[in-house]
Chain A
């Protein structure tokens, strides 16, 4: 098991090093940040000073080595736009995105699992059919449209919830969280629901498919024959077995919730990382783009690892060193 973890770790390192090259080269071929950032009235000498200040007068290989050296110290350089550490700029936004993604995940599980379970256990009932048709809507309606409709209905027409932005925050562990205040929750609800829509349908469908796959299995029949209560069969034997695909997908999808929440963040003016990265790409703020992409690589690599660990807890047959 230990060797396997080490092997995995080395693989991850390779992925990360490869990403630094790709990311660094990619951001260096698009546009010239100085043209975007500098005051249009600046003259040649002032321009040259700014270029030197950002280190853009150096050859590319030199910039890359400086970047790697900084990386080893955990320093992604200063943002061109914010004039502060790029990593710090991103980390400031991180709680907002994390909280949005987690809330969406919770909604997806709380709503998706029971509905999927029900639809799997009673596939022919009218309610199940309604649930399944509903989940198609969840898949196919574009997020931005649903978001706009939410705002129009709940904020503009009914005036129940704020239209956008993040509410009051409370500081915990040096980060600002909004889900602990009522104002924060009111602001959080619509964007989280919007972001959760697709994932809910996904969880629902996975659960239903899982239930239908597990139910005809011999061990379920055996459990029934043993006279176990339906409740115990479902909660222990069915649910536990169908959790494996659900956990895999949810784990991977959680990464994508964080990385791609940009649409929801834009519509709801949610000050998270997704919005930051789009702004940074438009302004060619290279240090922030690079730092963000590197962070995403780390998150995905980390999540895959956690998902693997979860398998072993759920299913003793799957071990990290299952080769033997």
Chain B
């Protein structure tokens, strides 16, 4: 026992010595980057999961046919160009001369294997992207045709999410990706090691077709705990951290070596309201007796609620500038943003008048529901909103609960007024609109998160049109109309877009992306 222990210590020491030598010989060009991620991913297999930390991680090792830019634009990556053959067929020309990390060539086989693997995985994580894909075929080794069951205007967006793996590993399971044998992509970094729940370490792919990264080694660390993440940045263990906690902003700003990087994300936070039921469960008269009708069905009441919320103050104080006031699904510059949406401003007096007109001069009693710890400062935002409602005479109680309890209930429409949020990861309006304002139709898959029971025939019809129109010029006015109808009727009360707030060493520069992904390849060292 004693001898074997000594043996191991000896080996540890030897390993250390090698490590020290390696560190000593590191040249100036070998720059390393450590990133502290605010949320965790569960596997390296790019098709097993499709949440944003996972998709951001997989982009380091793997590429897609389409590159998705920071403002949701579709640009060439492994496909150099594409064209529409007819309503249900798209042709993609593949980049030539690209090699996988193991030295094998990239061609149409790999695209076919990857797309079909993503579609057929039992976890169904990519189902919403692949549901319309009936087949992928090769015309020649560098041309593929994607066939869809119905005209699908979102196909480019969908393909930008599906990572291309080597067809040799198409049948490998999650474990093979996690231990690295199958984690072979064409991306800017190569897999080195992965510790579940802790970190993934990658090294530079010197042959990357987009040009080698300046980081020779990249470590993505999973640090969901705010204190731990902040401490990593302050102590210099991490060069860049996601979601700088509000309590750390002042500290980082005052430091000589650190800085705060901000940008706007596409995640909108809103209040949903019950516009469907004649009696709504969580609104009563002030004495607790039942109201004869649901006040939220009156457009004036909904507008009054929105007018009573001082959104600039919420963004500034509660969110500590980690948000931007929102008026519709997407901010200016994104597809489907409309200039004709009413921008309601803070006006408590006007709100009281509207309530009076609607027949509620004394207000009513309301319970506001929301999750805790799901969105940035979610419960604090709700408390603030509750107090603002109280100022126009609506007695408000705020009830928050863990996401695992809330998720089910709010999407099934159990509440009267509730906090919701949607990360518009397609960067265009049809994605949030289909999920949260389209009438609920299980067969079509619309309105799954329509907790307010919105069912406006005009919106439904426009969305049907938008989801089958391939021509972007025709699609845009349709989606703009959807934005106008939703927000001019106040079916949703928009609060803010969450901001991307990063803490960074002054040695690095990064332009935050709308989808909040932190991609090491796009991190540059500051000059």
Find out whether the CB atom of A163 lies under 8 angstroms from the CB atom of B237: yes
Find out whether the CB atom of B127 lies under 8 angstroms from the CB atom of A42: yes
Assuming the contacts A42-B128, A50-B123, A166-B195, asked whether A31 and B408 have C-beta atoms less than 8 A apart, the reply is yes
1/0 contact string of A30-55 vs chain B (CB within 8 Å): 11100110111111111001100100
Assuming the contacts A156-B231, A163-B234, asked whether A271 and B404 have C-beta atoms less than 8 A apart, the reply is no
Assuming the contacts A31-B408, A49-B124, A50-B124, asked whether A276 and B8 have C-beta atoms less than 8 A apart, the reply is no
B407 at the interface (CB under 8 A from A): yes
Q: Chain A residues near B203 (CB, 8 Å)?
A: none
Closest to A172 in B: B8
B377 at the interface (CB under 8 A from A): no
A162 at the interface (CB under 8 A from B): yes
Closest to A283 in B: B404
Within the complex, the shortest CB–CB distance from A138 to chain B, in Å, comes to 21
Q: Chain B residues near A269 (CB, 8 Å)?
A: 198, 221-223, 225, 228-229, 232
1/0 contact string of B399-434 vs chain A (CB within 8 Å): 000111101100100000000001000000001000
A83 to B235 alpha-carbon distance, docked (Å): 35
Q: Chain A residues near B175 (CB, 8 Å)?
A: 84
Out of B40, B45, B51, name the residue touching A279 (CB < 8 Å).
B40
Q: Chain A residues near B403 (CB, 8 Å)?
A: 36, 282
A279 to B125 alpha-carbon distance, docked (Å): 19
A89 to B174 alpha-carbon distance, docked (Å): 12
Find out whether the CB atom of A46 lies under 8 angstroms from the CB atom of B174: no
In this complex, the member of A32, A156, A281, A283 whose beta carbon has the largest number of chain B beta carbons within 10 angstroms is A156
B69 at the interface (CB under 8 A from A): no
Find out whether the CB atom of B449 lies under 8 angstroms from the CB atom of A83: no
Closest to B12 in A: A180
Assuming the contacts A82-B196, A156-B235, A164-B232, asked whether A36 and B174 have C-beta atoms less than 8 A apart, the reply is no
Number of interface residues of B (CB under 8 A): 63
A137 at the interface (CB under 8 A from B): no
Closest to A154 in B: B235
B residues 436-469 in Cβ contact with A at 8 Å: 442-445, 448-449
A151 to B42 alpha-carbon distance, docked (Å): 27
A interface residue numbers (CB < 8 A to B): 30-32, 35-36, 38-46, 49-50, 53, 81-84, 89, 92-93, 148, 151-152, 155-156, 159, 162-166, 168, 170, 172, 176, 180-183, 266-269, 271, 275-276, 279, 281-284
B265 at the interface (CB under 8 A from A): no
Find out whether the CB atom of A164 lies under 8 angstroms from the CB atom of B223: yes
List 15 additional A-B contacts (Cβ < 8 Å) besides A41-B129, A43-B444. Answer: A38-B124, A41-B431, A42-B448, A43-B131, A82-B43, A83-B49, A148-B227, A156-B234, A163-B237, A168-B15, A170-B15, A180-B12, A183-B19, A268-B228, A279-B40
B residues 187-206 in Cβ contact with A at 8 Å: 195-199
B236 at the interface (CB under 8 A from A): yes
Out of A39, A271, A275, A284, name the residue touching B50 (CB < 8 Å).
A39
Q: Chain A residues near B445 (CB, 8 Å)?
A: 42-46
A32 to B403 alpha-carbon distance, docked (Å): 11
A35 to B449 alpha-carbon distance, docked (Å): 11
Find out whether the CB atom of B234 lies under 8 angstroms from the CB atom of A164: no
